[in-house]
Amino acid sequence: MNALKEKVIKSILSITAFASIAFLIGIVVTLFANSLTALKGIDQIQFLFSSDWAPYYSPAEYGILSMVISSALIGITAALVCIPLGIGTALYLNEIAGSAQRKILKPVIEILAGIPSIIFGFFAMAVLAPFLQNIFDLPSGLCILTASLTLGIMTIPVITSIAEDALGFVPIGFKEASYALGGNRWQTLIKVTIPAAASGIITSIILAIGRIVGETMIVLMVAGGSLAIPTSILAPARPMTSTIAAEMGEAAYGSLHFSALFEIGLLLFFMTFILNFISERISKKYRLKLGQGR
Amino acid sequence: MKKSILKVLLSASIILSAGLGAFAAVIAEGSTTVLPIAQKTAESLMNANPAMDISIRGGGSGVGINSLLSGRCDIAMSSRAMKDGEKADAAKKKVNPKEYTIAMDAIVMIVHNKNAVTALTREQIKDIFTGKITNWKQLGGADKKIVVISRDGASGTFETFNELALNGEKVSKNALMQASNQNVASAVERAEGAIGYVGLGYIGRKVKVVSIEGITPSIETVLNKKYVYSRSLFFYTNGAAKGAVKEYIDFVLSKAGQDMIKELGFVPLNQGKK
């Protein structure tokens, strides 16, 4: 009886485990299949290296360079916001905060993680954009900086929760050894604790960047959406996700335009895939260095 | 057991085929601008009358008219009048297109409330949106950079604007892109140098409407065709509509149909009269 039960449970679990693989394969196949028309019908050099995007124009133009640059620029500036704040929070929680502070801080950060991105978008549109517009005397507050600040704040919890876990996993023996050798708290933190938790911290950063690059609603609402290649972070921009979201609904099914949007999605998928791959490699490398099997 | 299933299936298929026979199928094809009107009215008519079967296809005005001429659809939806070439083609194919104006479509230019410029010409609008004019100073306003706000290239409003105001020319790359009429209005409301365009149904109190060639857009100036950024939306049928096609067109032109058209942001035809 028990053997049967075990078998049933085992097979159910393996089905669920393989389900995500099936979904992943399904998504990749769909992306590819729908991109085929664009891959064949659009000169790929032009697609990647031109920033003329005018599907409505005749002849239609499909160039996504400015969108790729916009996505990258927004990703980098948002990372500059969320990395120091996120890791700082994690260090504080792990090293300095007493249990009373932790009891308040942790749930608050988790609530931040649970806020839907459209709420962040509303906040950015109604408060942040007019504020930045006044400070920098911009023609419009809808720009890369507005989007990046919002995305950066949104992804703080992603970094904090993973990095804090990683810091918590550092064996107490490591720190004790450092103290025993005469290291003070700061030296222990910088030389021992952070390097020991590096794999987790780097993973958290890369996951956060992946989240930023893939985020759609916020950039659609506050990045401005101009197609010119952005010259500064105070310029408006139109990242890849915005274009897909804005145009997919009204592009005729099966048309070249429709397919081009899928190809942008395919490219986006590869970008996040590469990010994940890098994070996997880096975290492995640090694990081996410490001789930890975790 | 098996027999009863068979019976059920058999009777179901009989009922189904009988039902199908009674269905009145209407096919409408054409302009993507008219598409939302056709979809909304068709859905509501089909709900009210289950015997109606209306299928709506996009493709563009030209595609719709072509389909009508070769008998592939009952109604061609069009955001422009038939061209002379198409009329000649129709005569050749012995099709007698009958035109029904079902609604009007108008684009309104809006600027920030503080903007002193309240009147522009078509030429100026074109220069602003293609990036030739970049400062309000050039138009007699304050020395402020013009923030051009446009819709994404796939939207019907953009398509209308592009045809009516830009004659198909490309919008400047510096234009900000917004995904809906409301977003355009709120972006214009927040940026002092902004200019944007929305459907006539979306003007709020927080933005200023610009008159074009001296004419302020309103339902009256659109219906009497004095306002230039407006156009009629048409249904074309082969000969006078009859049967289910007539029933559908009548519904679109009825009070209920025109109310839906107004809801969608277009200008209904019976607004001025009441």
Nearest to A81 by CA among A278, A218, A280, A268: A218
Instruction: Check CB contact under 8 Å for B170 and A54.
Output: yes
Given this model, what pLDDT does residue B117 score? 92
Three-state DSSP class for residue B154: coil
Please tell me the CATH superfamily of domain A53-293, with its number: MetI-like (1.10.3720.10)
**B16 pLDDT higher than 80:** no
The residue of chain A with its CA nearest to that of B182 is: A221
Share of chain A above pLDDT 90, in %: 59
Can you give the residue ranges of every domain in chain B? Answer: 2-103+233-263, 105-230
Of A133, A221, A251, the CB nearest to B154: A251
Q: What is the pLDDT of residues A17-69, one digit of tens each?
A: 899 999 999 999 999 999 999 999 999 999 999 988 988 787 888 999 999 99
Q: Which residues in chain B touch residue A133, judged by CB atoms under 8 angstroms apart? A: 190-191
Of B32, B154, B178, the CB nearest to A225: B178
**B15 pLDDT higher than 60:** no
Same CATH topology for B2-103+233-263 and B105-230? yes
Q: Give me the phi and psi of A85, to 5 degrees please.
A: -65, -45
Q: What is the pLDDT of residues A229-271, one digit of tens each?
A: 999 999 999 999 999 988 887 677 778 988 999 999 999 999 9
Positive or negative, the CA dihedral B12, B53, B61, A263 is: negative
Of B179, B187, B190, the CB nearest to A246: B179
Return the beta strands (E) in A161-226 as ranges.
none
How far is the C-alpha of A222 from the C-alpha of A150, rounded, in Å?
Answer: 9
Nearest to B27 by CA among B80, B68, B70: B68
Instruction: Check CB contact under 8 Å for B144 and A249.
Output: no
How far is the C-alpha of A53 from the C-alpha of A63, rounded, in Å?
Answer: 5
Q: Which residues of B45-68 are buried (b: 16+ CB within 10 A; e: fewer)?
A: beeeeeebbbebbbbbbebbbbbb
Q: What is the pLDDT of residues B150-189, one digit of tens each?
A: 987 767 788 889 888 998 888 998 999 887 788 888 889 8
Given this model, what pLDDT does residue B273 score? 43
**B240 pLDDT higher than 80:** yes
Please tell me the CATH superfamily of domain B105-230, with its number: Periplasmic binding protein-like II (3.40.190.10)
Q: Is the pTM higher than 0.90?
A: no
* Closest-CA distance of chain A to residue B193, Å: 6
Taking the Cβ of residue A236 and every Cβ of chain B, the question of whether any pair is shorter than 8 Å is answered with: yes
How far is the C-alpha of A152 from the C-alpha of A169, rounded, in Å?
Answer: 26
**A14 pLDDT higher than 80:** yes
Given this model, what pLDDT does residue B18 score? 43
Q: What is the pLDDT of residues A112-169, one digit of tens each?
A: 888 999 999 999 999 999 999 999 988 889 999 999 999 999 999 999 999 998 998 8
Which helix (DSSP H) or strand (DSSP E) does residue B212 occupy?
strand B211-212
Task: For residue A292, give both structure tokens.
Answer: 């930890």
Residue A33, classified by CB atoms within 10 Å of its CB into exposed (0-12), middle (13-18) or buried (19+), is exposed
Q: What is the pLDDT of residues B200-214, one digit of tens each?
A: 877 767 899 999 999
Pairing of strands B147-151, B52-59: unpaired
- Domain B2-103+233-263 class, CATH top level: alpha beta
Given this model, what pLDDT does residue B238 score? 93
How far is the C-alpha of B129 from the C-alpha of B171, rounded, in Å?
Answer: 6
Cross-strand pairs, B57: B29
Instruction: Check CB contact under 8 Å for A226 and B158.
Output: no
